[in-house]
Structure 1
Amino acid sequence: MTTLKEILSVLQFSDLTLLNEQGDLERVVEMVDITETPDIKNFTTPHSLIVTTGMSYQDDQSGLINLIRELNDIQVAGLGIKLSRFLKKLDDEVIAFANKLKFPIIEIPESWNLGSITHHISSFILDEETEKLHFALDIQQELNAMLMQGFSLNMMIERLSRLIKVPVMLLNSFHQVESSSHHFHQNSEHVQKNLNYFRRYLNSEQTEPNHNGVFQEEYAVFKVPAFKYFPYYLMISNVNLLNYPISLLTIEQAVNTLSLAIYKNSKIKEAEQQDVNHFFTTLMSEHPDNLVSLAQHTDLLKKYHIQPSTFYQVIICGIDKEKNVENSAYLNERYQMTFEWLTHKFTGIDPSISIYMSQGERRFTILLQRRHHYYLEYCRYIQKEYQLFFNSSLSFGIGNEVSELSQLPLSFFEANEAYDNKYEQGEMEFIEPYKSKSVEELLQLIPTNKLKPFIIYTLGPLAYPQTTKEKELRFTLSVYMANQCDLTKTSEDIFIHRNTVKYRIKKCEEILGQSVESPDTSLSIRLALFASEKISL
């Protein structure tokens, strides 16, 4: 966009003079209007330069104050007055009021008639905007060619910087430097200055890049919408050094190409990660014997981020469900961004940590391949950081450590079960280590209609005794099994003679049709006795 400053800097218009020192010459001029009517506000448009002789105010210049106020309210670029025709000189009150609003008043000299000045300024604006458009398209075409030829983001950022002759920095969705021009290399102070401004930009109430058609500050920040909800940012430094024909359009066209480059790179990484995820999912369903042989293929495992180690531990991570969040595009984008964020955070403390995605369940598998004594504290730290950036929460299920690759599916199973137990209870933002199940909890997993036949088959009439004699035999058998088939201890516990215990156990064996002391039979009897106490007939 053409500004008053650019117009006045042209030799052809060098005799145009700014009458009020505080007039803002950075105002954009899109067209020129001639008028002699006081109600021009009803007929002109924003960013117009109004030229007039001021004929209507030759007897009373106070009307100019109201005119300036009205024009400023509708964002008119400025007022050009041919003083020599009627007014000769502006009153101090008019100048002071214009300065208060920073509204530019420009004197048009006697040598120009209004029709001619209107034509020449309009032609200049048109020619300049055409040149800016051509320059912007040339830069876009060059960056597009680099994109098609597979050049990296670093090279594209460096090229853009050299084309516009100022420092350029690209920040990723997590507000970290992704790429920067040579100006920032080995210049940490320069980098920090940029980041400090960028943080102020993020903390401000602005929702759009800090430009209003022109560059008015030392820095300018542009959203790079490769991702709708988690954009990148392009930061331009030394904006005051940008010269014609560089314009806002130039940067916008560059942003479009950078968006495509970032999106393309993201899709390539996603495809590669899907292959890694599929391998890991398959690995977790393999038989341990197959994993023993696979452990010998270290090069293959390294390709999928698994290292030879005597320590493995799986942590399952999931994004907690939120009410009233049904935007699938947002959820998909957040899931992918969470993966990248977790990868950055965990590999930052240990490069050997690997992260895998479980697309169907929207979970992440975190594989520790070295012992970390403070991993629970780090999970809590991750939860707090995630809440700050994503305004959402994470939960973790933690499996036990294992020492061999063949045991890894066990830790994976434990981590998922620990996560599922809390998730199904509706809990959020939890960190749940796996706890081994008791015999009672395991039996609860077996449907009653399948457990009862086992009880009756194993214990026969002793499963649910009806007579006093059967109840007596069952009680003795139960104590005998609890005492590891020790006759003496059993007789002491139930206060009967040792021979009586021996007789009752023999009767039990006759009823059951087998010895109660063989290892397999003993285990079945113990389980059946325990289960029959929990399940009624």
Structure 2
Amino acid sequence: MKTVNDLFILEGMREAVVLAGHRGLTRNVQFVNISDTPDAINFLAENFLLLSTGYAFKDNTQEFCELIKQMNDLNCSGIVIKINRFFHQLPTEVKLLADNLAFPIIDLPTAHTLGEVSRHILNYLNDHEAEQLYYALHVQKEFSDMLIKGYSLSALLEQLGHLLARPCLLLNHRGEEIAQSHHFIKESMKQVKEEVIEKVKEDLPLAREGTTFTIPSRELESVTTFSVHTKRQYPSMLVIFDSLTLPYPSSQMAIEQAGNVISFTIVKEQAIEENARLLKNNFFADLIEMKIQSDEEILSRSNYYGLQKNMENVCIVCTIDTKGEEYESLQLYEKKIGELHNTVYDQIEDEIINEGVTATLFTKGKYFAMVVQFQKYGDEQVNIITQFLEKIQTNFNGDFTLSFGVSHSVPSLKEIPTIYQEAVEAITQGYEQKLNGFIKYYKTRDLEELLKALPRKDIKALYENTLKSLAFPKTKEDIELIKTIQVYLDSQCEISETSRKLFVHRNTVKYRIAKAEEVLNCSLRDPADSLRIRVALVIGAILNEDENVVNH
């Protein structure tokens, strides 16, 4: 952008004299306006240069000063005025104010009309912008040709560094290097690059938006980041050294055009990456559905995707909690759901890399599945997993929460189908308990949990058929029989132990057991009969629990 000082090379401005505000000649000029009305300020904005005869203020110095203050507040460029037309000399108050504000006031000779000078200035400004635009289009064409020919990101960065004569870096959304210009090959630039990356990582959100900063080894040289948007939630970053002093005709527009082509190249590479991800997920689906039978094939394909043999394997599944109207409305838009899943995948992948966890990430339907590997698995590793998953939940940026199911560990890659099912069952149990944003470790369901999952009419029929008249004891004698059976079975059918626990004589226990076996038509010492009765007693406790809930 041109400054007021640059205008003095133009026809009509060569003989102009600066009357006040010399320090403000570095102000930028982008637009020109001609006005002799008292309300000229209403038609001005930042970087506007006002051309005027001063007629509106010839008898009112105070209003002239007020206009200067208002123009200065708007960051206008200055005033070009024909001082001899109505003033003959600049009022002292106006001169002092303009000098104090560093606001240029320039006297235009009467031989030149305001319209003529305005045309020269506008042509000069527009020609400059046209040249910048032409150069930017030239850059875009050059880079587009490279894109069509399949040049790599490294080649694009090398070309950009050559065009701008500036060191250039391309970083991903995590602040990691993707490509660099030739400037960083020098040994002296390696520390510079490390300082830049460290500075970017200090405030990634700001760097992704675009910012300018300095680094210790180059305090006199600015470093600027530019957003490079892709299909991902967070943009990559183009880093250019000293871009604020780029020589003409290099411009921000040229950088933007190069950035667009770099963006397209990254999107193309992301599409290739997504295809590779699809192949990886297909392998995982084949593995957990046991479509791969050969141990050698399981080992070789697992190793290709980063899974090693002779390790303890733990499966973690993750899903987005489906709660609230916002998620329900999202389900109507397949594209938005796809973007949401890509965002979650990227963020989980980021955390795996940032935390240095040995894990391979897959997707299966609505689930994100991680196979995490350890040399050994114990309480310490459980704590590592818990802290890792809690960090993912904390750092997850979105309107939704994430839940996790974690399996037991297994030593063989062939057993991954088992631990995947365990992890899915763990997360399912969490949702059955109406939880959200949880971490649930798999545990084997006990007999009572399994029975509770069965239809009540079925377990009630089993209960009644097994315990017969003792199923719903009414008399004191029946209640004592049921209690004796329970204690007797819990005491491993030991008469003495049962007698001690019930505080009754051994003969009383013998009598009750004989009576119970007669009523139930079975032997409590027979393993099969004993198992059926144990199960029936558990069912009885479940039915009683249901009845208590109803009554309350």
Q: Given the two structures, how large is their TM-score scaled by the length of structure 1?
A: 0.78
List alignment gaps of at least 5 residues for structure 1.
Answer: 211-216
Alignment CA distance shift 1:39-1:478 (3 Å): closer
For residue 153 of structure 2, what is the amino acid of its counterpart?
L
Using the TM superposition, give the Cα deviation of residue 242 of structure 1 relative to its aligned residue in structure 2, in angstroms: 0.8
Q: Are 2:270 and 1:270 equivalent residues in the alignment?
A: no
**Aligned equivalent of 1:526, options 526, 534, 540:** 534
Alignment of 1:106-505 (within 5 A): 106-108=106-108, 113-174=113-174, 177-184=177-184, 186-193=189-196, 196=199, 218-227=222-231, 230-286=234-290, 293-294=294-295, 297-319=298-320, 325-326=326-327, 328=330, 332-350=338-356, 352-360=358-366, 363-370=367-374, 371=376, 373-377=380-384, 379-380=386-387, 383-384=390-391, 387-388=394-395, 390=397, 394-458=402-466, 463=471, 478=486, 481-484=489-492, 495-497=505-507
Q: Deviations over 1:269-322 (max 9, x none)?
A: 233323323432443343xxx777446532222334433234111223345567
| SS of alignment partner, residue 364 of structure 1 | strand
Using the TM superposition, give the Cα deviation of residue 254 of structure 1 relative to its aligned residue in structure 2, in angstroms: 2.8
Which residue in 2 is equivalent to 1:98? 98
User: How far apart in 2 are the matches of 1:263 and 1:102?
Assistant: 48
8 Å CA contact retained: 2:61, 2:94: yes
Which stretch of structure 1 is more off in the superposition, 153-162 or 318-327? 318-327
User: How far apart in 1 are the matches of 2:133 and 2:534?
Assistant: 87
Which stretch of structure 1 is more off in the superposition, 257-266 or 220-229? 220-229
| SS of alignment partner, residue 387 of structure 2 | helix
Which residue in 2 is equivalent to 1:213? none
Alignment CA distance shift 1:534-1:382 (3 Å): closer
User: How far apart in 2 are the matches of 1:411 and 1:251?
Assistant: 50
For residue 270 of structure 1, what is the amino acid of its counterpart?
E
Q: Deviations over 1:205-254 (max 9, x none)?
A: x98878xxxxxx94544433325853334343312321222223223323
Alignment CA distance shift 1:40-1:464 (3 Å): closer
Which residue in 2 is equivalent to 1:214? none
User: How far apart in 1 are the matches of 2:471 and 2:269?
Assistant: 66
For residue 192 of structure 1, what is the amino acid of its counterpart?
E
User: How far apart in 1 are the matches of 2:385 and 2:540?
Assistant: 45
Which residue in 1 is equivalent to 2:216? none
8 Å CA contact retained: 1:23, 1:105: no
Using the TM superposition, give the Cα deviation of residue 490 of structure 1 relative to its aligned residue in structure 2, in angstroms: 6.0
Q: Deviations over 1:33-56 (max 9, x none)?
A: 344444433456654332334466
For residue 128 of structure 1, what is the amino acid of its counterpart?
H
User: How far apart in 1 are the matches of 2:203 and 2:103?
Assistant: 29
8 Å CA contact retained: 2:170, 2:236: yes
Alignment CA distance shift 1:407-1:148 (3 Å): same
Alignment CA distance shift 1:255-1:103 (3 Å): farther
User: How far apart in 2 are the matches of 1:347 and 1:433?
Assistant: 23
Count of matched residue positions in the alignment of Structure 1 and Structure 2: 521
User: How far apart in 2 are the matches of 1:307 and 1:438?
Assistant: 33
| SS of alignment partner, residue 357 of structure 1 | strand
CA RMSD of aligned residues (A): 4.3
Using the TM superposition, give the Cα deviation of residue 520 of structure 1 relative to its aligned residue in structure 2, in angstroms: 4.8
User: How far apart in 2 are the matches of 1:88 and 1:227?
Assistant: 64
Using the TM superposition, give the Cα deviation of residue 365 of structure 1 relative to its aligned residue in structure 2, in angstroms: 1.9
Using the TM superposition, give the Cα deviation of residue 70 of structure 1 relative to its aligned residue in structure 2, in angstroms: 3.8
Alignment CA distance shift 1:526-1:14 (3 Å): farther
| SS of alignment partner, residue 246 of structure 1 | coil
User: How far apart in 1 are the matches of 2:347 and 2:533?
Assistant: 53
User: How far apart in 2 are the matches of 1:219 and 1:7?
Assistant: 30
Alignment CA distance shift 1:129-1:195 (3 Å): farther
For residue 133 of structure 1, what is the amino acid of its counterpart?
L
For residue 357 of structure 1, what is the amino acid of its counterpart?
T
User: How far apart in 2 are the matches of 1:218 and 1:15?
Assistant: 38
Which stretch of structure 1 is more off in the superposition, 166-175 or 468-477? 468-477
Q: Deviations over 1:97-126 (max 9, x none)?
A: 335544343454677554443232222222
The structure with more strand, counted as a fraction of residues:
2
Using the TM superposition, give the Cα deviation of residue 159 of structure 1 relative to its aligned residue in structure 2, in angstroms: 2.4
Q: Deviations over 1:125-181 (max 9, x none)?
A: 222222211111121222223333333334323322322222334444445555444
Using the TM superposition, give the Cα deviation of residue 343 of structure 1 relative to its aligned residue in structure 2, in angstroms: 1.6
| SS of alignment partner, residue 422 of structure 1 | helix
8 Å CA contact retained: 1:57, 1:87: no
8 Å CA contact retained: 2:175, 2:197: no
List alignment gaps of at least 5 residues for structure 2.
Answer: 213-220, 548-552
Q: Given the two structures, how large is their TM-score scaled by the length of structure 2?
A: 0.77
Alignment CA distance shift 1:342-1:525 (3 Å): same
For residue 155 of structure 1, what is the amino acid of its counterpart?
A
Alignment CA distance shift 1:126-1:75 (3 Å): same
Alignment CA distance shift 1:69-1:259 (3 Å): same
For residue 449 of structure 2, what is the amino acid of its counterpart?
E
Which stretch of structure 1 is more off in the superposition, 119-128 or 378-387? 378-387
User: How far apart in 1 are the matches of 2:251 and 2:412?
Assistant: 61
For residue 303 of structure 2, what is the amino acid of its counterpart?
K
User: How far apart in 2 are the matches of 1:57 and 1:207?
Assistant: 46
User: How far apart in 1 are the matches of 2:518 and 2:200?
Assistant: 89
For residue 342 of structure 1, what is the amino acid of its counterpart?
I
Alignment CA distance shift 1:334-1:78 (3 Å): farther
Q: Identity rate of aligned residues, in percent?
A: 28
Which stretch of structure 1 is more off in the superposition, 337-346 or 374-383? 374-383
Which residue in 2 is equivalent to 1:49? 49
